[in-house]
Amino acid sequence: MKENYPIKFLDLKAINQAFEPELTKTLIEISQSGQYVNGEISAKFEKNFATYTGTEHCISLGNGTNALELILRAYLFMGILEKGDEILVPANTFFATFLAISNQGFVPVPVEPDPTTFNICAKRIEQKITGKSRALLLVHLFGRNAFNEEIEQLVDKHQLKLIEDNAQGVGCVFNGKKTGSLGHVAAHSFYPTKNLAALGDAGAVTTDDPELASTIRALGNYGGKEKYVFEYLGTHSKMDEIQAGILNVKLPCLDKNNRYRIEIANAYLKEIDSIHLTLPKAVEQNQALSHTWHLFTILVPEREKLIKHLFEMGIETAIHYPIPPHLQPVYGQMDFGKLPITEKIHREILSIPLNPVLNKKEVKTIIESINNWDGK
């Protein structure tokens, strides 16, 4: 990250300083404990996070991508999925969602988004369902809940497994239930940029299915449920005690920080009035927690010009994401069909700063700088 921006897109140092001195105290305690993996602290986090999400089981892992991959691999070993099965997936998502599907021998079937929410369009899902469809991988992109009654009915009607990619949606609520508890199973990421963030990388799976939980835990332990006895060809993926300790400190503050994100997002939605861009769809007042605003993304046909203008104003921006998964070079031999909505989003999308350490003066500066842009 460039240091010369008065307003950074994301200041991880400042965000973590807000948790001091407890973070440093926790790090020292863990370093002196002599227990760095498979200890009481990671077990405590699993209990805390299962309680927070409202699920029966939490398996802590090395990262969010591992979480997705091990969910799919577990379903493979349990006989619920077979290689070559189709997994419905948002066309507009981060590449890791597609990667997890392809790496396990399944076929990603991309579904176009609703351009006002950036999430998968429920009305387009059924058009992509075939006799090979076995699961829907639902991404709560940018922090907005993607689940609704229509998706619930589709999953039940076609007997699909509903897998949540909750990497960006932690803390979201739908009808009183947290994302991460809405489907059959969910993958979570605690990468340092996330709303609930470790200092290094970390991830988790939550589910109410005891057999699935046990299989995923074994797969993350080389494939064994007991020491030196391996039932599966697994991998090695564990959350270390340091990351678990950091997350235990931060978890009680998550809802408060998410509410502040919502406050900033509401200011942007209310006060940005430029005719040269499109704002994301607002959230109904009685459903405020259905979007925790991991990112605030706008659509700008003249994106590079706005980036330059904001740079000159001392405001750092980011693009999430410049190239959609289906156009990545690795998929050059695959024909995913035409996905014009997704491609337009990736050409125009721009993320502006939104995080818990932005102050009101900085928010006002961002709003005024955007409103003062003449589109040239």
Cα(272)–Cα(70) distance, integer angstroms = 42
Q: pLDDT value at position 2?
A: 44
Q: Is 240 a residue whose pLDDT tops 90? A: yes
List the beta strands (DSSP E) in the chain. Answer: 57-61, 86-90, 107-111, 133-139, 161-165, 173-174, 177-178, 185-189, 203-207, 296-299, 349-352
In this predicted model, what pLDDT tens digit does every residue of 13-31 receive, in sequence order? 999 999 999 999 999 999 9
Cα(227)–Cα(66) distance, integer angstroms = 21
194: annotated active-site residue: yes
Give the pLDDT mean for 43-63.
Answer: 98
Give the pLDDT mean for 147-167.
Answer: 97
Q: pLDDT-based confidence at 187, cuts 50/70/90?
A: very high
In this predicted model, what pLDDT tens digit does every residue of 252-308 receive, in sequence order? 999 999 999 999 999 999 999 999 999 999 988 778 799 999 999 999 999 999 999
Catalytic residue from among 161, 178, 194, 238: 194
In this predicted model, what pLDDT tens digit does every residue of 62-121 receive, in sequence order? 999 999 999 999 999 999 999 999 999 999 999 999 999 999 999 999 999 999 999 999
Q: pLDDT-based confidence at 5, cuts 50/70/90?
A: confident
Tell me what the pLDDT averaged over the chain comes to: 96
In this predicted model, what pLDDT tens digit does every residue of 160-178 receive, in sequence order? 999 999 999 999 999 999 9
Most distant pair of Cα atoms in the chain: their distance: 66
Percent of the chain with pLDDT over 70: 99
At residue 48, what are phi and psi to the nearest 5 degrees?
-65, -45
- Tell me the pTM: 0.96
Q: Is 317 a residue whose pLDDT tops 80? A: yes
In this predicted model, what pLDDT tens digit does every residue of 213-230 receive, in sequence order? 999 999 999 999 999 999
Domains and CATH numbers, the chain: 14-111+118-252 (3.40.640.10), 253-371 (3.90.1150.10)
Burial 331-361 (b: 16+ CB within 10 A, else e): beeeebeebebbbebbebbbbbbbbbbbeee
Other Cβ atoms closer than 10 A to 330 = 11
Q: pLDDT value at position 1?
A: 38
Residue 336 DSSP code: -
Give the pLDDT mean for 302-331.
Answer: 97
